[in-house]
Structure 1
Amino acid sequence: MFWFQQGLCFLPAFLVVWSSCTFITSYLIALFRHDVDVIFPYISDTGANPPESCIFGLMTFVSACAGTATIYARYKYVEKLGEDARVTLKPCLNKTTLWLGIISCFGMCIVATFQETAVTLVHDFGALAFFLPGVVYIILQSVISFHAYPFDSSLSTCRVRTGIAAIAAAAFFPTVICAYFVKQTTLHRNPEDKDYPFHVASAVCEWVVAFCFICFFLTYIHDFKRFTLRVRTDCGDQL
């Protein structure tokens, strides 16, 4: 049996690989077509113009679906762990992370569907709905990992998740604050513009947060080897 056939580890593995390819592919296509600058475009800049916008939208939707499936599987796994009397874990915390993860995935779909150059307000709302709940999700999942230790993950994994969550939280605030001072919405930026430093800081932090999400789900792979989900159908006596 190959490693990706163990339990449900193929879910986070697929999510990590596919999401990474989504960001990198759209960036390379936009760069090849000279639609964005080489240095520090926003992630959404790389999916603003066709054909990269079409590819970015499709691949992001698949990532959102894979993310939702992974988040739900994690929720059911933690729910099962909570049945052990030795695990001091509140069910409401687990449910909160589930809904935060779903909202974040929905925000991802909004970002991919409404390009920033077409419907800026809706796009910005989707970006906020993606990043803010996503950061809170990984923070709370780090808390859950410590509460469920040692039945969930190793102590080193708990610490890695906490470190990733701390970096994502630290990068989130400059992303939003600096973006507020960016006045231009063009895809090509001039280093001489007054708001260029804010653009660079915001774009760099945005990439950092995005790849923090990817690295966080990477830590799920080992845990997902240990469980599977089954669908049970209950039918009444009469159909």
Structure 2
Amino acid sequence: MSTLFCLISGVATIYVRYKQVHALNPEENRIIRLNKAGLVLGLLSCLGLSIVANFQKTTLFLAHVSGAVLTFGLGSLYMFVQTILSYQMQPRIHGKQVFWIRLLMVIWCAVSAFSMLTCSSLLYNGSFGTDIVQKLHWNPEDKGYVLHMITTAAEWSMSFSFVCFFLTYIRDFQKISLRVEANLQGLTLYDTAPCPVNNERTRLLSRDL
């Protein structure tokens, strides 16, 4: 349930951010392209999160690793793209402070990713046995224990860098209001000729621009 909540929250956050950047820069072609790339990377990262949650490492290791690559790899690229967008939009749209904070989050993520990849490569290269993938409980005297702990800590560190990066959107999202609009083609759902009706427009978020 918690994974589903994180997945839905992630998709919603990424989409709202995409719509906001698009609305703020409707004629900037470079920003529009980067914004679309960020949307694709973010959604694929959320897909990877679903794969990681549904395929455990001890049952389907390859699927679990593939999901982790999507989640952390493309998620890191999403953060990088959004940081570039922040650079492109400052100081016209927001201050330089936002860009520097997001850049620090990206550096934090990159250091964690490097540590995780390095230690996990050493851990799973076969030097510590072939059954290490199935190992769930570790003791300090086990071979590869230090590498396992560093890998785990780096993975959690990357996760926290993602969360902190999303938290930088809070002030941005306080300046946006989304609405859903229903355009009716008729007063019934039968296959009849369309007739003019009043459209309904309802707010999704209560914050005003």
TM-score, length basis structure 2: 0.80
Residues 163 and 107 of structure 1: CA distance in aligned 2, closer, same or farther (over 3 Å) = same
Distance 1:219 1:151 in 2: 18
Alignment match, 2:166:
217
Q: Which has the higher contact order (CA 8 A, sep 6+)?
A: 1
Are residue 128 (structure 1) and residue 65 (structure 2) matched?
Answer: no
Q: Which residues in structure 2 correspond to 1:180-219 (within 5 Å)?
A: 180-183=121-124, 184-185=132-133, 186-219=135-168
1:88-121 deviation digits (Å, cap 9, x = unpaired): 8431110000010001111111111111122221
Are residue 74 (structure 1) and residue 23 (structure 2) matched?
Answer: no
Are residue 94 (structure 1) and residue 43 (structure 2) matched?
Answer: no
The Cα of 1:149 is off from its aligned counterpart by 1.4
The Cα of 1:193 is off from its aligned counterpart by 3.1
Structure of larger gyration radius? 2
Are residue 232 (structure 1) and residue 173 (structure 2) matched?
Answer: no
Partner amino acid, structure 2, of 1:71: I
Q: Quick check: 2:109–2:161 contact (8 Å CA) kept in 1?
A: yes
Distance 2:176 2:82 in 1: 18
Distance 2:153 2:146 in 1: 11
Gaps of 5+ in 1: 1-57
Alignment match, 2:203:
none
Q: Which residues in structure 2 correspond to 1:111-122 (within 5 Å)?
A: 111-122=52-63
Distance 2:142 2:93 in 1: 50
Q: CA RMSD in A?
A: 1.8
Alignment match, 2:201:
none
Distance 1:153 1:123 in 2: 39
Q: Quick check: 1:60–1:112 contact (8 Å CA) kept in 2?
A: yes
